[in-house]
Amino acid sequence: MENHYQVRSATPADVPALSAIERTVFADPWTPAAFRELLGPYSLVATDDGSVTGYVFARVMSDEAEVLNLAVRKDVQRKGIGRHLLDAIFESFRKRGVREVYLEVRVSNAAGQAFYERLGFRQVGRRRSYYDKPREDALILARQLDPSAKSA
């Protein structure tokens, strides 16, 4: 099935849609100010007919990157949007020479862990009591990137 959504850089005009998705997906959502503060080259949105369906926010430090936030609107989850967003951000990372990508996921989020594992992430650590609402540990996941490779 061909995906009909587009990936582009997030803009200040997207913040209300990002916040709305965030509030429905996460128990402890980011604020609109947090989204505005992190807008930049590693903040992407997926859109369908102009409507934001998902987003990814990340940061790069030297040859490492961290995925800070990834979410897809509940009514369009499991349609490849999250993978498409990560493929796009990985391509940006490769252009910067990033060799390893990190992220955290709740220990109770089995679906998220399975998703990231399918994309080549592996567990490299654990942060105790990392999340609030509810208080919960985070698994630290990592994935190697080949800067010369293209996204799969």
pLDDT tens per residue across span 122-149: 999 999 999 988 899 999 999 999 867 6
Domain assignment present for residue 1? The answer is no
Q: Is 104 a catalytic residue?
A: yes
Q: Which domain, by its residues, includes 14?
A: 6-144
Domain assignment present for residue 92? The answer is yes
Helix (H, G, I), strand (E, B) or coil at 3: coil
CATH number at residue 81: 3.40.630.30
- Residue 122: how many CA atoms within 13 Å on its side-chain side? 5
Beta bridge partners of 69: 57
Domain assignment present for residue 149? The answer is no
Q: Is 42 a catalytic residue?
A: no
Q: How many domains does the chain have?
A: 1
Q: Which of 41, 45, 42 is nearest to 20 (CA)?
A: 45
pLDDT tens per residue across span 1-38: 446 789 999 999 999 999 999 999 998 899 999 999 99
Q: Which residues of 25-41 are buried (b: 16+ CB within 10 A; e: fewer)?
A: beeebbeeebbeebbee
Question: Which pLDDT score, from 0 to 100, does residue 151 have?
Answer: 53
pTM of the model: 0.92
Catalytic residue (choose from 22, 42, 102, 104): 104
Catalytic residue (choose from 116, 117, 130, 136): 116
Domain assignment present for residue 105? The answer is yes
Strands (E), 18-135: 43-48, 51-61, 64-72, 100-106, 122-131
Domain assignment present for residue 67? The answer is yes
Query: If pLDDT is split at 50, 70 and 90, which confidence band does 150 have?
Result: low
